[in-house]
Amino acid sequence: MTTNTALFEKVYNFLRDSPLEHITAVSIVNQVIEEEPWFPKEDSRQLIYNAIVSIKNLYGENSGKYKKLIEISFKFDDAFEGVCSLRDIDLAKWDEQVSTEEIATNLRKLKLNLGNSTAPYAKKLLKYLKKIKPSDLSWRDPEASQVISSDSEIIRRLSEEVEDEYNHYMEPVKRMEGTTPLRIKDVCNGFVMSYNNTMYEGVPIELSHGNWEESEEDIVGIASGILDTIESIWRNPAFGEKFAKSQNEGTYVTDIIVPVVKASLEKLPIKSFAFKILIVNLSLLLNADRGLREDKEDSSTVSSPPYDD
């Protein structure tokens, strides 16, 4: 499930990066619903409102984008109803593709498996399933696919009526839960206690005029780090000859630009804040450049190794 923060960022980025003609109440609501189809209406309204408030001041009050953002809030209800109706139509198509006969067959097989099971909870679950008719299920219900989900209604009933059998059912989940070793906790606590987040008030001596040039040994080390980073990128099948040109800007920034820049700046005393500023600027440049490019025929030499013809 996508977090509210991730949804907010998606809507915010859509408002910031999209052309004016693409920004409508419908397109914005769709950003939310396509990520979380059952996101509550009022939560969607508040999330979109917050995104609009956060971004509208980037534009002048007389600009077309500012005026359009202001109008969106008044059109939310109709837009939300429209997007949800399209969602429901798509879901209905899926319901038609999965016939009641198929669901009945899967439900019968699930009951048969439970009937043959020696697990202590099997008889109780079988009793619950016998009360379910194929017509009560759709493709969205796990039981229609011979699956009993831990958050399904029958498991909820099992937890309320027979606690021991419920615990037995959940035992595999509990066995998979890992415990953090105390040594790991000590290492993390030590890092927090010893980390020095002192911000430089002036220009560090290493970066001041006349002192910025690294030694030959440092330059060789930085170059080796960059080459090692490029080599690891080339070894990634996603950036091989077959797929390199299909990668989008986000993937390119995250998997290529950021590691190479990090390797280049590793020895400089600029702290994390300067690195973040640089990456934000790179992202903005890429967004601006996106509108200028007509095609992607040229591929960066960093993204994939040289191939022999």
Q: What per-residue confidence (pLDDT) applies to 298?
A: 46
Would you call 98 exposed, middle or buried from its count of C-beta atoms within 10 A (0-12, 13-18, 19+)? middle
Q: How confident is the model at residue 300 (pLDDT cuts 50, 70, 90)?
A: very low
**pLDDT, average across residues 147-161:** 85
* Tens of pLDDT, residues 24-36: 999 999 999 988 8
Q: What per-residue confidence (pLDDT) applies to 294?
A: 44
**pLDDT, average across residues 228-238:** 79
User: Could you tell me the residue ranges of all domains in the chain?
Assistant: 4-97, 100-176, 215-290
Measured distance CA(132)–CA(89) in Å, rounded: 25
Q: What per-residue confidence (pLDDT) applies to 287?
A: 55
Q: What per-residue confidence (pLDDT) applies to 191?
A: 78
Which contacts qualify for 105-113: CB closer than 8 Å, 24 or more apart?
106/143, 106/144, 106/145, 106/146, 107/132, 107/134, 107/137, 107/143, 107/144, 107/146, 109/146, 110/143, 110/146, 110/147, 110/148, 113/146
- Secondary structure class of 294 (helix, strand, coil): coil
Minimum mean pLDDT range among 11-20, 59-68, 190-199, 271-280: 271-280
Question: In this model, does residue 309 exceed pLDDT 50?
Answer: no
The per-residue b/e assignment along 111-148, b for 16 or more CB within 10 angstroms, e otherwise, is beebeeeeeebbebbbebbeebebeebeeebebbbeeb
Question: In this model, does residue 187 exceed pLDDT 60?
Answer: yes
